[in-house]
Structures are given as structure tokens and as C-alpha cells.
Amino acid sequence: MNGLSARRLRVLLAAFVLFSGAVSYRVVSFAVLQGPVLAQRAEAFRYREDIVPAHRGDILDARGRVLATDIPADRVSAIVRQVEDPHRTAQLLAPLIGRSAEDIEAALTQPGREWVVLQRQLDPEVSAQIRALELPGIVLDPEPKRAYPMGDFASQVLGFVNWEYRGAYGLEAAYDSVVGGIPGQLVGERDLAGNVIALGQSSWNPPKDGATLVLTIDSAVQYLAESVLERTIQEQRAAGGTIIVMDVRTGAILAMANRPSFDPNRFTAVSDPALFVNPSVSATYEPGSTFKVITMALGLDAGVVTPQTVVDGGAYRELPDGTRIYNALLQEFGPETMTEVLIHSSNVGAMEVVDRLGPERFSDGVERFGFGQPTGVDLPGEVEGIVNRPGTAGWSLTTFYTNAFGQGIAVTPLQLVAAVSAIANGGVLMRPYIVQEIRDGQRIQVTEPTPVRRVIREETARTLSEMLAEVMDSYSTRFRIPGYRIAAKTGTAEIPGPHGYERGEGATIASVIGYGPVENPRFCVLVKIDRPKGSPWGERAAGPAFAEVFRQLLLLYGIPPSQPIDSVTGGGGRP
């Protein structure tokens, strides 16, 4: 028994020594080996670094109206280990912050998390309700929130600010580094509730607030364009549309309306991100007969035709391979002057013009007008369009002739407006722009109008303006602008599909583009209606909207009429 007891004693002693060694190792490990790491963690918890967002600059319209601004908001977070009752906390917060109680409780019980953000950009009223609950471990921190007081007004021009407080789409993205400012940094000693200790050690690098943008957009003109566009889309049972108004003298964009659109205050509710994209610069379409304005400008400028040049207005043109290209509705106009080619919207007449120009000269002229290249507007996502030059895979004799009347070529709405504005102002292509001023404290940067190049002679522009004024007179049975001489051209474009051009109801793009007053042009207006079902024709589907926008525009800017208001000129409108 004595020997057995001695052996047991030795085993117990050995076990005790091993246990004591293990404990000693852990103590030494924590105190010596891991001490610096643990101290670092404690220091990091005590001294937390916060990025302090800069206030974004306002975005104002040309009249000084606020289109985008910052408003006060809060971020609600949780110090997880201080939350005494996750279930009760989640139940109380759920109806206030717009998250389910289950989701909040899951966030509060995540293993290994010390700090979790529960919701951002809370309104002050909601923050006050949370503060009144006095929930342990729940912290409110101020942060700015972007607000768009006019809802979906010019939303695809403005874009929005995402959860990271960075600009997304539109001007918010294009000018993010300007309007967004520079974030600040706060490193402060915190108490157990996460609050900065007033007398503790801290460092503060203040943010630099962003600059204010003043746009060329006139909210009165933008509202006019949007309201007319919405009404026209509804009346025509159309899929969407675009209206652009530009100052032909400078390239300043006064209105850029697109539908469908979205409310940037509720960007998270948008299920289709395609709504964020601005179709005025990012979507192409075949412009149809509105492109005959460009074709005629090139023919006149090259001297291959004059307004009085007469061509055979047959129903079709037959190519060497036997392909026949027809007028709309197979119409046969008989002999017609170049002015009548525009009035009749004769495809055969337009093909005669490019035939006299030849492929190279026509292609060079189209590119000179800015097609197949970005306009350089200060908006993101601008595309080049599609222009197939002779010798490229997309070019053929058929597309050469169909390009004459705006089929087989793809342009953006803004490209067409910029090109036609060049005719209006006497032949100079201007770079479109939408930001008029950048105000950064006492420093103001003003955008100056930028001529790109001369595209046609001034004499050509005057001649074509007179021709297009006669074209506008011919629409008087459909739409008119009493008292004013306006130059305009309608277009009815077919829509290409994977198996050729679409057929049936809603298979066209109806549009009108024009400028005026002819005596001293100020504005270029494009009305484009996508897939109208009321009428497929530009004259009927888009014409009344064009006239309404121009009438109100001239009234808004106080431009007096040049003719008696009760005079009605011309006739002979087409379907």
C-alpha cells in the first residue's frame, strides 16, 4: 500500500507540474508573446478611426433652383457585446429602420463581430425615436444624405449618390471628384459606448466640401419638355421617348427629358438598372427621314444640287444587283425639286443627292457633322453611334443609299441635335455642354462655348433654312406655330431587329427636329417618340409635341412673332 501510494503521489505531482507549466506558458504567451498584439487590439478599440464624408456641393439649374443637395441624416450601428437583449432590440428597431426583426437580430448575434452598421441615412425624426429608446449598445452617428427635391426631374441627367456616397450615373458620377469633395478623418479615444471622449487624445483632419454645379438646364424648359413628353407618350401609347432643347449659338443644353425615368431619392427601388442610363447620349437609333436634313446640307454645300434641282420622283430606285429601295407607302411623286424632296420626304430624291456626292464625299461629310464619334458633352456613358465607311465590313451599296434617308446608320439623339444646330447657327458644329459654372468657394469656373469645326458654308446654312421653313409650312394641317417661321423635318424610322426591320404596331420611331426662329435661330428642338401605337408617323405622333414645346419656349423667352398670328401658310401635309 505504501508503494502504491507513493506511485500515485508521483503521478499526481507530475500532472500538477504539467498543468502548472501549461498555465505558465499561456500566461507568458499572453503577457509577453501576444502582449503587443493584444495591446494593439485594445488600442484600436479605444482609438477608432472614422472617415468623415465631405458635404457634396449642390447642383443648381440655370435659374438657381436646387436640383440636388445634402440634408442631415444618421447612421445607426451597434456595439455588439454591449447589446443586452438582441431579440428585444431587434423588435424595437425593425419598424423604425426598415429591416426585419429577424435580419437585425441575426446581425446583432454574429460571432466575432464587435461593430455592425444596421441602417444608414436615417431621417432626423427616426433618429430621435431611436435615441428615445435608450437601447444599450445602439449608437447614432451623423452622416449626410443626398436629396433630390424635385423627384424624378431630370433624373437621368443628374444620376444619384450610392450608399458609399459616391456619384453613380449622370452628373453625380461625371463630376464626382468635383462635387464630392474630399473626406475628412477623425481618430478619437472612445468610451465603452463608442462616444468620443471630449478630453481624450484625438486628431481631426476636416473634410473639404464639394463644389456647387450650376447647369445650363433651365428648369422651366425642362418641366415643359418632360410634361409634353409624358402626355405624348400616354396619348400615343408609346414605349418611351426623348425631348432635347439646345441653344444653337452656344451648345448649351436647356432641357434633356427622357421617359421612362426614375426617382433618384429611391434608386434602390429600381429593378432595371437600364433606367439609370441616359438614352440621349447612351442609346442609338436609326433617325429615318430627319437625317435627310444632313444629306441635303452636304449636297447643297458640295454644289451637286440646288433648291431648284429637279429629279425624277419615282416610287423606287433599283440597284445594279436588282435590289429595289422604295419611298414610304410606295409613293410616286413625279419630277420634284430638292425643296419638294424634303417636303415629300422622298427617299428616292435623297438617294439621288448621295449618288451625286459619291460614297467617299458623303461619308466624309457625315463624319464632319459629328456622327460616328462622341459629341464631347460633359455626361458619362456617351456612345459613338454607327457609321460604316466605304471599304469597311458594314458598308454596301444598299447601306450607302439607305443612309441617305437615315436607315442603316445609328446616331444618338444628342448627335442629331448638335448636327442640326450647326445648320441653324450658320454652319459651325458646337460642343454640347450641360454644366455652366463650377463654384468652389470664392473661385468660379465658367464654361465657355466651344466651336468644334465648320461643317458647311454660311450661305449653304441660310439656303437650307429657307427650304426647311417651307417644309414646316407644309405641316400646317397637322401642327403649326402661328406667327413664327420655324425650320423643321419629320422622320418615321423603322427599327432593326435580328431578322430584319420590325413590322406591325409599335414598330417605328417617330420624330421631328427643327430650329427657329429662322430669321435669328435660338433653339433646336428634337422630339423623339419610341414605338408609338397611336400613329407610326413622325408628323402625327411627334409633330404636335414639337409645336407645343416650341410655342411655349418662344413665349418663355419673350421672342416676338415675325408674322401675323392668324396667318396660315401652305398645306399638303402627309400621313
pLDDT at 185: 77
Q: What is the pTM of this model?
A: 0.86
What is the share, in percent, of the chain residues with pLDDT greater than 90?
76
Mean pLDDT of 242-265: 98
Q: 419: closest CA among 463, 375, 474?
A: 375
Tell me the backbone φ, ψ of residue 487, rounded to 5 degrees: -95, 130
Q: 512: closest CA among 345, 396, 379?
A: 345
pLDDT band at 10 (very low <50, low <70, confident <90, very high): low
Q: Is the pLDDT of residue 19 over 80?
A: no
Q: Give 356-414 as a 3 state SS string.
A: HHCHHHHHHHHHHCCCCCCCCCCCCCCCCCECCCCCCCCCCHHHHHHHCCCCCCEECHH
* Contacts by 390-398, CB closer than 8 A, 24 or more apart: 390/359, 390/360, 390/363, 395/359, 397/319, 397/320, 397/321, 398/319, 398/323, 398/325
Q: Give 433-457 as a 3 state SS string.
A: ECEEEEEECCEEEECCCCEEEECCC
Residue 198 DSSP code: T
Greatest mean pLDDT among 159-163, 496-500, 508-512: 508-512
pLDDT band at 571 (very low <50, low <70, confident <90, very high): very low
pLDDT band at 388 (very low <50, low <70, confident <90, very high): very high
pLDDT at 170: 97
Q: Is the pLDDT of residue 204 over 70?
A: no
Mean pLDDT of 71-88: 91
pLDDT band at 143 (very low <50, low <70, confident <90, very high): confident
Mean pLDDT of 40-46: 53
Higher pLDDT, 1 or 269: 269
Higher pLDDT, 7 or 215: 215
Mean pLDDT of 372-401: 96
Grid cell at residue 300: 447643297
pLDDT band at 53 (very low <50, low <70, confident <90, very high): confident
What pLDDT, in 10s, does the model give residues 277-297? Answer: 999 999 999 999 999 999 999
Mean pLDDT of 529-533: 98
pLDDT at 485: 96
- Which of 184-198, 233-247, 514-528 is predicted least confidently? 184-198
pLDDT at 16: 59
- C-alpha dihedral (407, 409, 411, 416), degrees to nearest 10: -60
pLDDT at 184: 80
| Rounded distance between C-alpha atoms, residue 233 and residue 467, angstroms | 30
Higher pLDDT, 334 or 565: 334
Q: Is the pLDDT of residue 574 over 50?
A: no
pLDDT at 569: 42
pLDDT at 296: 98
pLDDT at 199: 47
pLDDT at 50: 66
What is the share, in percent, of the chain residues with pLDDT greater than 70?
86
pLDDT at 38: 47
Q: 83: closest CA among 134, 120, 128, 129?
A: 134
Q: How many residues does the chain have?
A: 575
Which residues face 430 on adjacent strands?
A: 451
